[in-house]
Amino acid sequence: MKKVKRNTAVLFIRDRLPYLVTGIVIIVFGAALMIIDKARLRKGINDTDTTMYFIIVALFFICVWLVVDYIRQRIYYQQVSMAIECSGELQAAAIVQSTVTQEQRLAVRLLEQQQTTYLNELRNFRRQQEIHNHFVLQWVHHMKTPVSVMDLLMQEALQQMPYTEQEQHQFVSNMKDEAERMTKGLEMLLYSARIDKFEFDLHIKRIAIHDLIRDVIIAHKRLCIRHSITPQIDGEAWVETDIKWMTFVLNQLVSNAIKYSKGISGSKRLTFQMKQTANEVKLSVIDEGIGIPSHDLPRVFDPFFTGENGRAAEESTGMGLYLAQQVCHRLGHRLNVRSEEGSGTTFTVSFETKSIQRLD
């Protein structure tokens, strides 16, 4: 702080050196005239010519300095005026370049930094808008599939009535599957829209994460039974988080685990493992699915990235893991992944006790 104050004082004095020099010259000249006038008074000479001469010379020096200072700063003022006239343009601040004083240089530097910050924010906003628009288009495309399937099922039902009990059960099951796909798609679109105003939809409290996991498992019970996936909760832990946003994250991790495990025959396990230390709680979601190819791992959290597995499944939007990581980041948690192709995948959420509520 002392260094900043000292630098500020130096800049202030440096900018006013020409004024100080002009003032000193006038003072010295005036003192010299007074000495001369005093010597003349001793000789009995008394007139006002010396005073008038001092006033005229002082005004002359002031006028000369004003002209010189105007010539020095004329281009700067012209550029500032042009920048004000072009204030509606993004690059208006770049017009001001011909600075003379340190004060002007600091002002221009501040404008440049503010412009850089503004342009970065604008680029981030545009990127978020592009991601959102692309996601909406992709979501509409994906929603066509369940709507088309439901329409086809309804047409078949009308043509083949009456149904046997088994056919009715199959029909209802298929309709439920497509309805669930639509519900999950709507949920993801809703959370994608909400994440931009994350801080307005946040309620941090201490929760039992193992109880939340049970609720998520119950929500996916039907799919787990159908695809022979056995959930297992290993341990208990309490963390500080937002229950609604954390439910969204866990839903994405469980949905992915089911999606990429159902193609494997036989019984599979889906393990939720909790480990607690003095500084953090780690929740690992471990599946026995097909795994992720090593070359896809660095990009699994990128928006719209589906990878080889997602393209093969034809059900992936590439937004689930991206949104899950964004939510974890804003909550102050960390979401990591490790996987071996053919041996399953492990997603780990780290709840650090000193990094909650990072609302950036």
Over residues 42-56, mean pLDDT: 65
Give me the mean pLDDT over the 112-141 stretch. Answer: 78
State the burial class of residue 328 (Cβ atoms within 10 Å of its Cβ: 0-12, 13-18, 19+).
Answer: buried
- Residue 357 in this model has a pLDDT that exceeds 60: no
Average predicted confidence (pLDDT) for the chain: 79
Chain segment 301-317, per-residue pLDDT in tens: 988 787 777 666 556 67
More confident residue, 157 or 162: 157
CB 33 within 8 A of CB 53: yes
Q: Which residues, in sequence order, are CB contacts of 319 under 8 Å at separation 6+? A: 135, 138, 188, 192, 303, 304
Q: Which of 18-32, 285-299, 338-352 has the lowest mean pLDDT?
A: 18-32
Rounded Cα distance, 128 and 319, in Å: 13
| Residues composing the chain | 360
- Quick one: tokens of 13? 């004095």
pLDDT at residue 13 tops 90: no
Is the Cα dihedral 124, 125, 128, 133 positive or negative? negative
286/288 Cα distance (integer angstroms): 7
What's the pLDDT at 237?
92
Could you tell me the end-to-end alpha-carbon distance of the chain, in angstroms, rounded to an integer?
28
135 SS3 class? helix
What is the pLDDT confidence band of residue 161, given thresholds at 50, 70 and 90? low
The more confident residue out of 334 and 138 is 334
Question: Which residues lie below 8 Å from residue 9, measured CB to CB, with a gap of 6+?
Answer: none
Residue extents of the structural domains in the chain: 2-100, 124-200, 202-360
What's the CATH superfamily of 202-360? Histidine kinase-like ATPase, C-terminal domain (3.30.565.10)
- Structure token digits, residue 15: 């900018």
Looking at residue 43, what is its pLDDT?
64
pLDDT of residue 359: 42
| 278 Rama sector, left if φ>0, alpha if ψ -120 to 50, beta otherwise | alpha
Which residue intervals of the chain are DSSP H helices? Answer: 2-15, 17-42, 49-85, 102-160, 165-194, 209-219, 221-226, 243-259, 307-313, 320-331
For 62-103, what is each residue's pLDDT tens digit? 788 778 888 888 888 888 888 888 877 777 777 888 887 777
pLDDT of residue 4 exceeding 80, the answer is: no
* Burial of 99: CB neighbours in 10 Å, binned 0-12, 13-18, 19+: middle
Nearest to 71 by CA among 18, 134, 133, 129: 18
- Stronger pLDDT, 32 or 338, i.e. the higher one: 338
Question: What are 319-356's pLDDT values in tens digits?
Answer: 889 889 999 999 999 999 999 888 899 999 999 876 54
268 has a pLDDT exceeding 80: yes
Backbone angles phi, psi at 220, to 5 degrees: -110, 15
**What is the reported pLDDT for 360?**
42
Q: Which two three-digit tokens encode residue 203?
A: 């309620």
What is the spatial distance between Cα 264 and Cα 290, in angstroms, rounded to a whole number? 7
Residue 48: pLDDT over 60 = no
Per-residue confidence (pLDDT) for residue 354, from 0 to 100? 61
Maximum average pLDDT range among 43-57, 90-104, 285-299, 344-358: 285-299
Q: Which of 105-114, 217-226, 271-280, 289-298 has the lowest mean pLDDT?
A: 105-114
Write out pLDDT tens, residues 189-205.
777 777 777 777 788 89
Class of domain 124-200: mainly alpha
Q: Give the residue from 75, 76, 117, 115 showing the smallest Cα distance to 94.
A: 115
Q: Inform me whether the pLDDT recorded for 5 exceeds 60.
A: no
Name the residue with higher pLDDT: 63 or 289: 289
User: CA of 285: how far to CAs of 73, 254, 266, in Å?
Assistant: 66, 8, 20
